[in-house]
Amino acid sequence: MSSVAYALSRGDNEHWEIPGESFGEPLLRLLVRLVRGMGEEEIRSLMEQVISESRRDQDGEAIKSLFVLTFQTRWCRGGKGERALFLVMTRVLYEKFPDVVLELLELVPKFGYWKDLLFLLQGCRAADMGKVSFDKLADRVWTLFAAQLQEDHEELLLAKKQQREPRLSLCSKYAPTEGHAFDRELHAVRSICGKMYGEVLGASKQPEKAARYVKGKYRKVLAELRRALQVCETKMCSNSWDSIDFSRVPSLAVKRYMKAFLNESATDPSQSRSEDAARLACREAFLEASRANKLNGKQLFPHDLVKEVWATCEDLPESKREVYQSMWGKIREGVEEMIEQRKAELQRGARDLEDALAVKAANESSEQVSQVLAIVQEALEDKALETRSSRPVNLGKTIAMCDVSGSMMGVPMYVSVALGILCSEVSPPAYRDRILTFSSEPAWHELSQCASFVDKVRHVREADFEMGTDIYKAMQLVLELVRRERLSADDIPNLLIISDMQFDEASTEAPQTLHENLKELFAEAGMSLYGKPLEVPQIIFWNVNQSCSGFHAEPDAPGITMLSGFSPSLLKFVLSGELEKELLNSKEKMSAKGMLESILKEEGLAPVREALDKMDKKLFVV
């Protein structure tokens, strides 16, 4: 651990914490603080700190890491999935590193979706960009749209000729429609047509007539591509409800149009909205897709479903219960897939490390075999072999501790409950379907007897929702479990604390962080049980509120990691077994800095890093 002494200050509930401005490197502060609702001024301030430190240290790698973190923030299939935060971050980066942003724009649809590019232009136009012009940015966006539409249209024509299914992007679905908002504000259609049909426009002696002609061609291309994509909105508008293929309807559309698909009255769900045969057939097809587990749901935020059922658990019609259960199952399936992918990534890293060590050991004389420990250490310190992927010994045994105190009311509460339930479902059998809620009075919840997702939400909703946030009482319940089961330090589960981090003040008089207090608490319990101190288990502080300002442990404290946001994708870091690793019988627990490193080096973000590494180093100089 670092020898740095951190000055402590009082937090919102008078607990001692490390102030944000003195906590570790600014990139780590940014990672932990990035939560939906965070203001642009605060994002800009933290990013400026990263850039300023990079300038001082002449460290272009720090700027690259800032770009990677920006894409991780948007990444909807493995990161935080936050569009608004990403747009602000990208706008700030464009002001400082315009050429880098222009090079990376083509990756935006891969980590988010095509509409992000339009929102980015909209935001740049509305914001005060000072001396920075967004003309090059706009030109690059229109070039990307034009090129992808042309590529997709050519693929569609070829697929028809070869009598096969076309392989299309979703560009046409989100491309600006003539006369709609993005077109009116950004002159989008005119600009894209200029890229697609520049030769026609340039050769015409009647520019207005040529402009009308190419816009007609553009409309036709969009219509053909959207028809091939089977965009549900197109079928809804044309009253072709009975032809919707629900296996192709995106997650957000399933949630957004659920009432319409179920043909429910807006005022009385028990009544049909329409007696039209196509609408009735649509309802039956929708329910059948739900029962057959064919609805998409992996891209949903789980708290959105908790929010939907929170106030109406008892009154939900069976049809909606079925749909919510199907969608929740898809979210869980997506998390399980990401955990398995992360485990495979770690195993590949471990094999690479072992191969490198074998090569190094082969080059040493037999007399130096006794120095294998030094070899391993040297290899780990070598940047070419850096990895957090050594043999995982922790199989992801984790208990979620869900903050349900008064300060969490609203979206943070839904996020805490949703992530808690989800974590309990994908944890190993010993801790499956078990969560611990805490406010003034903590309580265990056994969810194994709940028949459905809705029943689990209803069960947790009956928890004690008081104003206090007594994390220490909750820890006493964990220690009761340790005493009852006679758990050793290795058997104590990881503790995932999902909270706004506004904990009650400890009873100790000395100014200590929560981590220091917990070390004393577990040490005393160990002496009572085993005659020797117990180590604090691996703790993951998961921040779900953008107002969180302080920190409860040092950035390099082993066994304390920090995450934030609403996305269940990050559970892969908690449940993949990488929070603790074993190397030659020596165990190492991950710190907050280690978590930052793991996130930035994730394989899924490799396209961003590779693109950055190919650029001239001068582009990263401010």
* Assigned token pair, 241: 């409800």
Whether the CB-CB separation of 50 and 622 falls below 8 Å is answered with no
Host H or E run for residue 211: helix 207-229
- Any residues with CB less than 8 A from the CB of 584 and at least 6 apart, and which? 373, 376
Whether the CB-CB separation of 285 and 246 falls below 8 Å is answered with yes
What integer pLDDT is reported at residue 386 of this predicted model?
Answer: 41
Q: In whole angstroms, what is the distance from residue 66 CA to residue 64 CA?
A: 5
What integer pLDDT is reported at residue 507 of this predicted model?
Answer: 60
Distance of CA 346 to the CA centre of its chain: 19
133: Cα within 13 Å, side-chain hemisphere = 4
Q: Which amino acid, one-letter code, is at 510?
A: A
Tens digit of each residue's pLDDT (9 = 90 or more) over 19-78: 666 677 899 999 999 999 999 999 999 999 999 999 888 889 999 999 999 999 999 999
CA dihedral 273, 278, 280, 281 (to 10 degrees): -150
Confidence of residue 391 (pLDDT cuts 50, 70, 90): very low
State the distance between the two ends of the chain, measured CA to CA, in whole angstroms. 32
Q: In whole angstroms, what is the distance from residue 613 CA to residue 601 CA?
A: 13
Q: In whole angstroms, what is the distance from residue 385 CA to residue 352 CA?
A: 8
Q: Does 204 have pLDDT greater than 90?
A: no
Residues in the chain: 622
Most confident among 298-302, 350-354, 501-505, 576-580 (mean pLDDT): 298-302
Q: Does 317 have pLDDT greater than 80?
A: yes
Tens digit of each residue's pLDDT (9 = 90 or more) over 283-296: 999 999 999 999 99
Mean pLDDT of the region 563-584: 81
Tens digit of each residue's pLDDT (9 = 90 or more) over 372-388: 545 545 544 443 334 44
Angle at 396 between CA 517 and CA 352, to 5 degrees: 115
Return the bridge partners of 562, or none: 541
What integer pLDDT is reported at residue 390 of this predicted model?
Answer: 38
Kindly report the number of other CB atoms within 10 A of residue 326's CB atom: 21
Mean pLDDT of the region 119-123: 95
Q: What is the β-pairing status of strands 539-543 and 494-499?
A: parallel
Q: What is the β-pairing status of strands 9-10 and 16-19?
A: antiparallel
Q: In whole angstroms, what is the distance from residue 313 CA to residue 456 CA?
A: 10
Tens digit of each residue's pLDDT (9 = 90 or more) over 227-282: 999 999 989 999 999 999 999 999 999 999 999 999 998 888 788 899 999 999 99
| C-alpha distance from residue 87 to each of 127, 140, 301, 354, 604 (Å) | 12, 16, 19, 41, 20
Confidence of residue 359 (pLDDT cuts 50, 70, 90): low
pLDDT, mean over the chain: 87
Q: Does 193 have pLDDT greater than 70?
A: yes
Residue 563 DSSP SS3: strand
Look at the pTM and tell me if it is higher than 0.75.
yes
Angle at 332 between CA 328 and CA 335, to 5 degrees: 140
What integer pLDDT is reported at residue 355 of this predicted model?
Answer: 64
Q: Which amino acid, one-letter code, is at 415?
A: V
Most confident among 86-95, 129-138, 204-213 (mean pLDDT): 86-95
| C-alpha distance from residue 158 to each of 171, 207, 216, 530 (Å) | 18, 31, 22, 73
Mean pLDDT of the region 152-166: 97
The residue ranking higher by pLDDT, 183 or 127, is 183
Tens digit of each residue's pLDDT (9 = 90 or more) over 394-452: 446 899 999 999 889 999 999 999 999 999 999 888 889 999 999 989 999 999 999 99
Confidence of residue 199 (pLDDT cuts 50, 70, 90): confident
Q: In whole angstroms, what is the distance from residue 563 CA to residue 58 CA?
A: 28
* Assigned token pair, 411: 């979206």
Tens digit of each residue's pLDDT (9 = 90 or more) over 61-108: 999 999 999 999 999 999 999 999 999 999 999 999 999 999 999 999
Confidence of residue 313 (pLDDT cuts 50, 70, 90): confident
Q: Where are the alpha helices (DSSP H) in 97-206?
A: 98-104, 108-111, 115-126, 135-162, 171-174, 181-186, 188-196, 198-203
Q: How would DSSP label each residue in 291-350?
A: HTT-S--TTS-HHHHHHHHHTTTTT--HHHHHHHHHHHHHHHHHHHHHHHHHHHHHHHHH
Tens digit of each residue's pLDDT (9 = 90 or more) over 504-541: 776 656 778 888 889 999 999 999 988 999 999 999 99
